[in-house]
Amino acid sequence: MTRTLITNDDGIDAPGLAALARAARGAGLDIVVAAPIRQSSGASASIMAAEEDGRIAIERRELPELEGTPAYAVRGGPGLVALIAARGAFGEPADLVLSGINHGANVGRAVLHSGTVGAALTGGLNGAWGAAVSLDVGLHPTRYHWDAAADVAMGVLPFLLGRPRGTVVNLNVPNAVENRGIVEASLAPFGIVHTTLTEQDDDYVRLAVEDLPNRPEPGSDAALLADGWATLSGLDPVSHMPLGYRPTER
């Protein structure tokens, strides 16, 4: 069985995490759950943690409907969780890192800031397959179709596991019982929301999240998701861009 780490950035008690773990276990994966002890959205791939004498606190948990599945709450972000898992903190290192299901879409180049994506990328950097899974709930949801998103994620796994190790994908699923299907999509220049500065003082600032005023770029993950598709995008954890700089001597 494929050794699988289930993590997220919404915290160990998030319903999306439980839905993903249940689906993965039902698909026959050998799972371990390890996630931040509290919400860590926007953590990217940070490996910062709350330490005491150089030790990172880890608590054993029992998750509802996942009896017998090892689960851990970590006083650190999802990138750190994926890193220490790769070093054997929760048993044998994972072959597959499933991160999510995130409360809200992670689309466009703004995925740079996502802790959900950061965990999947960290898994990829350490030789595992990685998948970040997000549910497009919008700003004012009334229902959450976590299980439907988890089913879509399980459907993508055969394709992902057929790719070379280290492959990382970003999956976004509409918040609905059914969707139009799965389509590969490029990253939008931005996301589907943006942050604005709503208050500023000498001692603090306050941010708010708002919908972008313009329709996303056609063919991008943001546009296709808005049209009812589940979108799949390949991510390169770290890429080198040639600059054409000529060496200079002193």
Output DSSP code: residue 110.
Answer: G
Selected residue with higher pLDDT from 213 and 225: 225
Residue 13 structural domain: 3-191+218-235
CA distance 187 to 196: 22
Determine, yes or no, domain membership for 200.
Answer: no
**Contact of 157 with 124, CB cutoff 8 Å:** no
Q: Give, to the nearest 10 degrees, the angle between helix 78-86 and helix 115-125.
A: 20
Determine, yes or no, domain membership for 119.
Answer: yes
**Contact of 92 with 1, CB cutoff 8 Å:** no
Per-residue model confidence (pLDDT) at position 52:
65
Q: Within 13 Å, how many C-alpha atoms sit on residue 14's CB side?
A: 32
Determine, yes or no, domain membership for 249.
Answer: no
The three-state secondary structure class of 14 is coil
Supply the CATH number for residue 143's domain: 3.40.1210.10
Q: How confident is the model at residue 250 (pLDDT cuts 50, 70, 90)?
A: confident
Place of tokens 């940070």: 46
Determine, yes or no, domain membership for 177.
Answer: yes
What count of residues does the chain have? 250
Q: Report the relative pairing of strands 3-7 and 129-136 from DSSP bridges.
A: unpaired
- Can you list the alpha helix ranges (DSSP code H) found in 36-112? 78-86
Dig out the tokens for 163 from the structure.
């790719």
Per-residue model confidence (pLDDT) at position 138:
86
Output DSSP code: residue 112.
Answer: G
Q: How confident is the model at residue 50 (pLDDT cuts 50, 70, 90)?
A: low
Burial of 206 (0-12, 13-18, 19+ CB in 10 A): exposed
pLDDT one-digit tens code per residue, 129-169 = 999 999 999 878 899 999 999 999 999 999 999 999 999 99
CA distance 85 to 97: 10
Per-residue model confidence (pLDDT) at position 44:
76
Determine, yes or no, domain membership for 124.
Answer: yes
Determine, yes or no, domain membership for 90.
Answer: yes
Q: Which of 11-20, 31-40, 131-140, 207-216 is predicted least confidently?
A: 207-216
Determine, yes or no, domain membership for 212.
Answer: no
Average pLDDT over residues 218-236: 96
Share of the chain above pLDDT 90, in %: 74
- The torsion of the CA quartet 17, 63, 42, 78, rounded to 10 degrees, works out to -100
pLDDT one-digit tens code per residue, 73-126 = 999 999 999 999 999 999 999 999 999 999 999 999 989 999 999 999 999 999
**Highest mean predicted confidence (pLDDT) among 47-51, 176-180, 189-193, 196-200:** 176-180
Per-residue model confidence (pLDDT) at position 198:
61
Determine, yes or no, domain membership for 24.
Answer: yes
Q: How confident is the model at residue 199 (pLDDT cuts 50, 70, 90)?
A: low
Overall domain count for the chain:
1
Evaluate if residue 9 carries a pLDDT over 90: yes
- Rounded to 5°, the CA angle 23-25-27 comes to 70
Evaluate if residue 70 carries a pLDDT over 60: yes
